Structures are given as C-alpha cells and as structure tokens.
Amino acid sequence: VDIESMVNTSKDFLNPKLTGEAILTLGAVLFESIDTYDGVISIGPFGCMPTRIAEAIAERGLEHLRENSSKLKREIFKIAGNIPILFFESDGNPFTPTVESRLESFVVQVKRIKSLSMELQSQKFK
C-alpha cells in the first residue's frame, strides 16, 4: 500500500496533520478510484468518525480528480455520471434490504461504467 501517495492525493481536501484514519480512508478512495477502478465501496465500523469525515469530503475530491483525469475517463463520466461510490457503516449485523438494494444498484452502475470504458477504448483503436 502506497501510504505516501494516498496522503498526497487527499492533502488538498484534508490536512495531513489531522491524525487518524480519515486521511487514509479518503486517500484510498481518491488515489485508487478514477484511473484504477470503476467503483469504490468503503466499509467502516458503525459510528466511525474517520469514515464519516471521508464520506463528507469524497465527492469534492472525486470531482477534482474527474476534471483532471484522462480524456477517456472524462468522457465516460460525462456519459455515465459520477463514479459509483458507497460508504457503509457496519455493526456486524446482516445488511438490511435497503443496503442490499444499494449494493445491487452499485453493481449495475459499475457494469455500465466498465461497458462504456471498453466501448470507448475500442472506438479509440478503430
């Protein structure tokens, strides 16, 4: 895990002097998302303040990354909308039907992003 890069990616949105896991949680979401993955799920313990801080800041950070990502990714997000991202808090109990529904929706969104990515890449090489 490249901790230094994760911290550097998120330092414009959260001060690294704020000790704890929030900067790492946010950094993992931002550093690993736009150009590496088609969606992100962050699961934290119930009532976890670092998870809640990261969730509150993540959209602004992702917007910045979208604007500065590759032309292909910008085109994908222009067509498909935002990168699918979910934040969950878990107390160890089974997920509710609502959470399961959100997960199913997330999977559909990720498949759509992946499909668009593959389609646009194939058009690029024609």
Detail the DSSP E strand segments found in 1-123. 40-45, 85-90
How many beta carbons lie within 10 A of that of residue 16, not counting itself?
11
Lowest mean per-residue pLDDT among 2-6, 26-30, 53-57, 69-73: 69-73
Report CA dihedral (117, 123, 124, 125) to the nearest 10 degrees.
120
Q: What is the pLDDT of residues 70-123, one digit of tens each?
A: 787 778 777 777 778 899 889 989 989 999 999 999 999 899 888 888 888 788
Confidence of residue 35 (pLDDT cuts 50, 70, 90): low
Tell me, yes or no, if the pTM score tops 0.95.
no
Closest CA to 62 of 103, 23, 13: 13
